C-alpha cells in the first residue's frame, strides 16, 4: 500500500506514551472548550500554542451578554492571508473556538458580535489606524525576520514633523544601530510610502518594518540607512516628497545626492515609486513597487535617462487576488516596449495585496539598496505572470468558476442586490476548518475570487446578512444540509477524491429495507466493486460505514467521496474486493437496527460473507460511538472495527478479552486540536488501556471535526481491511 502523507503514519509511536503526550497537550484546550463558569475580566481571550493553534475564548458578558446572533473573530486568516471571519461557538459562559495550525507570521484580528466590533481588552497590542484591532505573532523560521531582536541591538524609531506646503506633516524615521547625528558617516535614505487606506504607523504595527530593518542590520544583510516612512500624500516627484527629503536631510546626517536616494511603497505608494523612477529618474536611484497600480510606462518614459540614472526598479505583486496583478502585467509589457530596465520579483503565489506580501517585499527589496547584489531574479517559489486574470462576465457561467491553479471565483445571482453583507462560508482554513470570506458588490451581484486553494474537495454555503443560503447557481447538493454546495479542485494531492474514468469504477445503488426499529421502510447506499459477481463462489467481505449526527446515509457519498476513494483504491490494487454498506444510523437503537435489519437485508440482496472475519464496521462521530456500542455489546461480530472522531464511553461491563479475541483490527482516528472531540479522546485511550484492549492509533489527523479529516481516515482505513 503506498504511503499517504496525511497524518504521521510513517512515525511509529508507543500508544501509551502518545496518550500522555496528548494529555499534556489538551489541558489548555480543554479549559477553553469545556469552560462553563464565568470568565474573569483578565482571562486572556486568546492563547497561542507553540505549534501555532490560536484558541479564542470571549466571555458572553462582553459580547452582547448572550444576545448576539453570532460572535466571530475577523482576521487575516483566509486563503492568501485575506480578511475572513472565524465563527465561535457558545459553550457555557464563553464563545470559543480553535483555529490552526497557523503559519509563522503576524496576525491581526478583532472580535465582532453581530455588527459591533470589540477590541480584545486582554491583548495589549495596538494598531494605531485600527483601534479595534489586536495582533499576535506566531514564531518560526519562516518569520524569523519579523521577530524582535534582543534589547539594545536594534535601531530607533522617532517622529519627524515637517512642513509640506502650508501644512504640518509627520513621518516616522528609523535610524540604524549605531547611528550618530554627529559622526563622520553620512547615510543613504529610503522613503517608504503608504497607500490608499494605509498609514505610516501601519508599516510598524502591521508591516513589522522596524523588526525587519533591525534583523537585517544585525545580520549585516542591508546597508546602514535612514528610512523615512510617510503617509503618502500627493503624487510622486511633487513638493510633498521633496519636502520630506529636505526635512530628512536637515534633521539627519544623510547623503543628498540621487545615487543615495531610494523610494518604495504599497498600492498607491508603489505607483508613486514607479512614477518617480520613470518620470524623474535623476531624483531616485532605487525604486520599488509593492502591489503598485501603475499600468503603463508613465507616458513616454525616457529609457536612456532611466537606464542611466535608475540603478534598480523592482516590481512586486501578489497572486490574482491582488488588484495589482493585472496592472503589473500591463506595466511590464509597457516597460519592455520602452526598453526600460527593471526587475520583477515574480508572482507571490501565497498572498494578495496585504501585509503578509508586503513584509516579504520589504525583506527582498531593502538588501538590494546601495550595494551590489548577484541575484536579480524572482524570489524562490515565485512564478511568472501568465497574462491578465479575467473571470467570466457576470451571469455567464455557473458558480464557482475554478481555475487550473486553484483560484475560485464566486458570484451570486441578482437575488441579493439589496443585501448588506454576503460572505462565503467554506472549509478552506488550515486543514479544513471553516472561514467566511466576504464578497464585494459587483453591480446587482456579489463576487469575489479566493485562492489559491490546495487540490481537494470543498463545500460551502452563502451567508446573506448572516442567514445561510444555497448557491442556486451550483447544481451540486448535500441532502442532509440543503444550503450546502460543493466543488472540487483537481490535483495529485486530491487524486483519490476525483472521479475515475467513466465505466471504470464500482457502482452505488440504493437498497430499501424494512426497519423494525423505526417501523418504516428505509434506505441504505451500497457500493459494489468493479466486476462484482453476484454468483461468485467466494462471498465478498462486507464493510458497514456509518455517518455522524445530523447526517444520513447519503453523506458518505455526497460529502465523504466514498465512491471515488473506493474506486481509486480498487483500481490501484490497494483494496480487497468488498461490498460497502452506508446505512441510516438515525435510530434510537442502532445496534438492533444494524444486526436485525441492515445486516440481514444486505445478506439477502448481495453475495456477502457471513463469517465474522469478513465483517467490518466503522463510523464517524455519532457513527463512531455507535460502532463502539456494537463492539462492546457484541465483541467478535465484526473482526475489523474503526472509529473516526468518536469516544468509547464507559468501560463498565466491557469484556476486553472477548474484544481482543474477536477483533483483528481496532483502529482509532481523531482530528487535531480544532476537533472538539480531541480533548475527550484522551478518556477513550485511557479506558482502552485500562481494559487491556489492543488498538492502533499513530497520531492525529490534521484538521477539525469535519469531512477533510474523515475522508483521510477512510483513505487510511479501507486498504487495511480483510488483509490479516
Helices (H), 176-324: 202-205, 209-218, 239-251, 268-279, 303-309
Q: Which three cell numbers stand for residue 36?
A: 462553563
The pLDDT-based confidence of 298 (bands split at 50, 70, 90) is: low
How many angstroms separate the Cα of 136 from the Cα of each of 83, 358, 414, 571?
Answer: 15, 18, 39, 47
Same domain, 611 and 486: no
Decide which of 139, 172, 199 is a domain's last residue.
139
The DSSP-derived string for 17-79 is HHHHHHHHHHHHHHHHHH--SPPPTTS-SEEE-TTS-EEEEEEGGGTGGGT-S-EEEEES-SG
Residues 112 and 229 reside in one and the same domain:
no
Buried/exposed 195-219: b ≥16 CB within 10 Å, e otherwise: beebbbbbbbbbbbbbbbbbbbbbe
pLDDT tier at 233, thresholds 50, 70, 90: low
Q: Is 475 helix (H, G, I), strand (E, B) or coil?
A: coil
Residue 386 belongs to some domain of the structure: no
Residue 459 maps to a domain: yes
pLDDT tier at 8 (50, 70, 90 boundaries)?
very low
pLDDT (0 to 100) of residue 232: 65
Average pLDDT, integer, range 626-639: 98
- On the question of pLDDT at 716 being above 70, the answer is yes
Cβ(392)–Cβ(339) under 8 Å?
no
Q: What is the DSSP string of 88-125?
A: -EEETTEEEEEE-PPPSEEEEEEEEETTEEE--TT---
Residue 503 located in a structural domain: yes
* Residues 54, 46 contacting (CB under 8 angstroms): yes
Q: Are residues 99 and 240 located together in one domain of the fold?
A: no
Residue 482: is its pLDDT beyond 70? yes
Phi-psi region of 703 (alpha: psi -120 to 50; beta: other; left: phi over 0): left
Residue 394 confidence (pLDDT) above 90: no
Give all strands (DSSP E) within 401-536, no chain letters: 401-402, 408-411, 422-426, 435-438, 440-442, 445-450, 456-464, 467-469, 485-489, 507-515, 520-528
Mean pLDDT of 589-595: 97
Asked whether residue 6 carries a pLDDT value surpassing 70, the answer given is no
Q: What is the CATH number of the domain that holds 620?
A: 3.40.50.1820
Same domain for 124 and 199, yes or no, is: no
Q: What is the rounded average pLDDT for all residues in the chain? A: 91
Residue 81, in any domain of the structure = yes
pLDDT attached to residue 679: 87
| Structural domain ending residue among the three candidates 110, 139, 168 | 139
> Which of these ranges, 132-146, 181-195, 247-261, has the smallest mean pLDDT?
181-195
User: Considering all CA atoms of the chain, what is the largest pairwise distance in Å, rounded to the nearest integer?
Assistant: 97
Max mean pLDDT among 205-219, 381-395, 694-708 falls in 205-219
Number of domains in the chain: 4
| 108 and 241 both lie in a single domain | no
**Do 507 and 628 fall into the same domain?**
yes
Comparing 605 with 19, the larger pLDDT belongs to 605
pLDDT above 70: residue 38 = no
Same domain, 507 and 620: yes
pLDDT of residue 196: 82
Residue 570, CB-side half-sphere exposure with 13 Å CA sphere = 22
Q: Are residues 82 and 155 in the same domain?
A: no
* CATH for 414: 2.60.40.10
Residue 23 lies in a domain: no
Nine-digit cell string for 324: 495589482
Predicted local confidence at residue 184, as pLDDT: 86
Least confident of 91-100, 298-307, 712-721: 298-307
Task: Decide which of 241 and 591 is more confident.
Answer: 591
3-state DSSP assignment of residue 256 = coil
User: pLDDT (tens digit, 9 = 90+) per residue, 320-345?
Assistant: 999 999 999 999 999 999 999 999 99
Judge if 446 and 522 occupy the same domain.
Answer: no
Are 363 and 424 in a shared domain?
Answer: no
Do residues 600 and 688 share a domain? yes
pLDDT of 44-87, one tens digit each? 999 999 999 999 999 999 998 788 999 999 999 999 999 999 99
pLDDT of residue 699: 84
Lowest mean pLDDT among 7-21, 278-292, 394-408, 666-680: 7-21
Q: What is the extent of the structural domain holding 705?
A: 499-720
629-643: average pLDDT: 98
If you ran DSSP here, which 8-state letter would residue 254 be given? B
- Residue 634, Cβ density class (10 Å: 0-12 exposed, 13-18 middle, ≥19 buried): middle
pLDDT on residue 65: 78
Predicted confidence band at 235 (pLDDT cuts at 50, 70, 90)?
very low
Quick one: 517 and 653 in the same domain?
yes
498, HSE (Cβ side, Cα atoms, 13 Å): 13
CB contact set of 115 (below 8 Å; sequence gap of 6+): none
Beta strand 89-91 with 94-99 is antiparallel
* CB neighbours of residue 595 within 10 Å: 15
Helices 15-34 and 678-691, interaxial angle, to 10°?
Answer: 140
Residues 519-554 have pLDDT tens digits of 999 999 999 999 999 999 999 999 999 999 999 999
Q: 344, 368, 392: which is the final residue of a domain?
A: 368
Query: Considering the domain boundaries, does residue 3 fall inside one?
Result: no
- pLDDT band for 27, please (50, 70, 90 cuts): very low
**129-186: per-residue pLDDT in tens?**
999 999 999 999 999 999 999 999 999 999 999 988 788 889 999 999 999 988 888 9
Model confidence at 238: pLDDT above 90:
no
Residue 4 falls within a domain, yes or no?
Answer: no
Look at residue 15 and tell me whether its pLDDT is greater than 60.
no
Please report whether residue 92 resides in a domain: yes
What's the pTM value of the predicted model, to 2 decimals? 0.89
Amino acid at each position: 500500500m503506498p504511503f499517504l502523507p496525511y497524518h504521521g503514519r510513517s512515525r511509529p509511536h508507543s500508544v501509551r506514551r502518545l496518550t500522555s503526550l496528548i494529555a499534556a497537550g489538551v489541558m489548555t484546550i480543554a479549559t477553553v472548550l469545556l469552560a462553563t463558569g464565568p470568565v474573569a475580566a483578565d482571562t486572556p481571550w486568546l492563547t497561542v500554542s507553540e505549534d501555532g493553534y490560536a484558541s479564542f475564548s470571549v466571555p458572553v458578558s462582553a459580547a452582547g451578554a448572550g444576545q448576539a446572533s453570532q460572535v466571530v473573530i475577523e482576521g487575516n486568516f483566509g486563503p492568501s492571508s485575506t480578511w475572513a471571519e472565524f465563527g465561535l461557538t457558545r459553550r457555557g459562559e464563553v464563545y470559543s473556538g480553535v483555529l490552526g495550525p497557523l503559519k509563522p507570521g503576524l496576525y491581526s484580528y478583532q472580535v465582532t458580535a453581530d455588527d459591533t466590533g470589540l477590541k480584545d481588552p486582554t491583548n495589549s497590542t495596538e494598531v494605531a489606524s485600527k483601534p479595534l484591532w489586536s495582533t499576535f505573532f506566531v514564531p518560526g523560521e519562516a518569520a524569523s525576520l519579523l521577530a524582535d531582536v534582543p534589547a539594545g541591538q536594534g535601531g530607533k524609531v522617532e517622529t519627524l514633523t515637517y512642513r509640506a506646503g502650508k501644512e504640518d506633516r509627520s513621518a516616522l524615521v528609523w535610524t540604524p544601530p549605531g547611528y550618530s547625528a554627529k559622526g563622520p558617516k553620512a547615510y543613504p535614505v529610503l522613503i517608504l510610502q503608504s497607500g490608499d487606506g494605509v498609514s505610516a504607523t501601519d508599516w510598524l504595527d502591521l508591516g513589522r518594518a522596524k523588526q525587519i530593518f533591525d534583523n537585517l542590520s544585525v545580520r549585516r544583510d542591508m546597508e546602514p540607512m535612514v528610512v523615512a516612512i510617510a503617509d503618502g500624500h500627493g503624487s510622486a516627484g511633487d513638493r510633498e516628497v521633496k519636502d520630506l527629503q529636505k526635512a530628512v536631510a536637515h534633521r539627519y546626517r544623510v547623503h543628498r545626492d540621487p545615487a543615495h536616494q531610494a523610494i518604495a511603497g504599497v498600492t498607491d505608494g508603489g505607483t508613486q515609486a514607479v512614477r518617480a523612477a520613470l518620470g524623474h529618474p535623476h531624483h531616485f536611484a532605487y525604486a520599488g513597487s509593492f502591489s503598485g497600480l501603475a499600468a503603463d510606462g508613465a507616458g513616454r518614459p525616457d529609457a536612456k535617462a532611466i537606464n542611466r540614472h535608475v540603478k534598480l526598479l523592482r516590481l512586486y505583486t501578489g497572486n490574482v487576488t491582488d488588484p495589482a496583478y493585472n496592472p503589473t502585467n500591463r506595466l511590464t509589457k509597457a516597460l519592455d516596449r520602452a526598453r526600460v530596465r527593471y526587475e520583477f520579483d515574480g508572482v507571490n503565489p501565497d498572498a494578495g495585496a496585504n501585509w503578509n506580501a508586503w513584509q516579504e517585499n520589504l525583506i527582498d527589496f531593502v538588501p538590494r539598496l546601495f550595494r551590489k547584489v548577484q541575484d536579480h531574479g524572482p524570489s524562490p517559489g515565485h512564478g511568472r505572470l501568465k497574462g491578465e486574470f479575467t473571470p467570466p462576465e457576470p451571469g455567464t457561467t455557473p458558480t464557482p468558476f475554478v481555475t487550473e491553479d486553484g483560484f475560485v471565483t464566486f458570484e451570486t445571482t441578482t437575488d441579493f442586490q439589496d443585501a448588506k453583507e454576503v460572505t462565503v462560508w467554506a472549509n478552506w482554513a488550515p486543514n479544513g476548518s471553516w472561514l467566511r470570506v466576504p464578497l464585494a458588490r459587483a453591480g446587482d451581484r456579489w463576487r469575489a475570487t479566493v485562492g489559491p486553494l490546495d487540490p481537494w474537495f470543498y463545500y460551502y454555503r452563502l451567508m446573506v446578512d448572516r442567514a445561510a443560503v444555497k448557491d442556486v447557481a451550483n447544481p451540486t447538493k448535500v441532502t442532509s444540509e440543503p444550503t450546502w454546495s460543493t466543488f472540487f479542485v483537481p490535483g495529485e494531492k486530491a487524486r483519490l477524491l476525483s472521479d475515475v474514468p467513466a465505466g471504470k469504477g464500482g457502482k452505488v445503488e440504493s437498497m430499501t429495507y424494512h426497519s423494525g426499529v423505526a417501523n418504516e421502510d428505509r434506505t441504505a447506499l451500497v457500493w459494489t466493486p468493479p466486476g462484482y459477481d453476484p454468483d461468485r463462489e467466494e462471498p465478498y467481505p462486507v464493510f458497514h460505514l456509518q455517518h455522524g449526527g445530523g447526517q444520513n446515509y447519503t453523506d458518505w457519498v455526497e460529502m465523504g467521496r466514498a465512491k471515488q476513494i473506493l474506486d481509486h483504491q480498487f483500481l490501484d490494487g490497494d483494496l480487497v474486493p468488498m461490498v460497502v454498506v452506508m446505512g441510516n444510523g438515525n435510530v434510537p437503537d442502532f445496534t438492533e437496527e444494524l444486526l436485525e435489519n441492515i445486516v440481514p437485508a444486505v445478506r439477502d440482496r448481495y453475495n456477502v460473507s457471513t463469517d465474522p472475519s469478513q465483517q467490518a464496521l466503522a463510523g464517524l462521530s455519532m457513527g463512531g460511538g455507535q460502532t463502539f456500542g456494537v463492539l462492546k455489546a457484541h465483541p467478535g461480530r465484526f473482526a475489523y472495527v474503526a472509529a473516526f472522531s468518536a469516544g468509547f464511553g464507559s468501560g463498565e461491563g466491557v469484556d476486553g478479552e472477548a474484544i481482543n479475541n474477536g477483533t483483528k483490527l481496532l483502529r482509532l482516528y481523531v482530528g487535531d486540536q480544532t476537533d472538539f472531540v480531541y480533548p475527550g479522546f484522551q478518556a477513550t485511550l485511557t479506558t482502552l488501556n485500562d481494559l487491556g484492549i489492543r488498538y492502533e492509533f499513530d497520531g492525529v489527523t490534521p484538521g477539525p471535526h469535519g469531512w477533510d479529516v474523515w475522508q483521510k481516515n477512510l483513505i487510511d482505513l479501507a486498504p487495511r481491511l480483510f488483509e490479516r
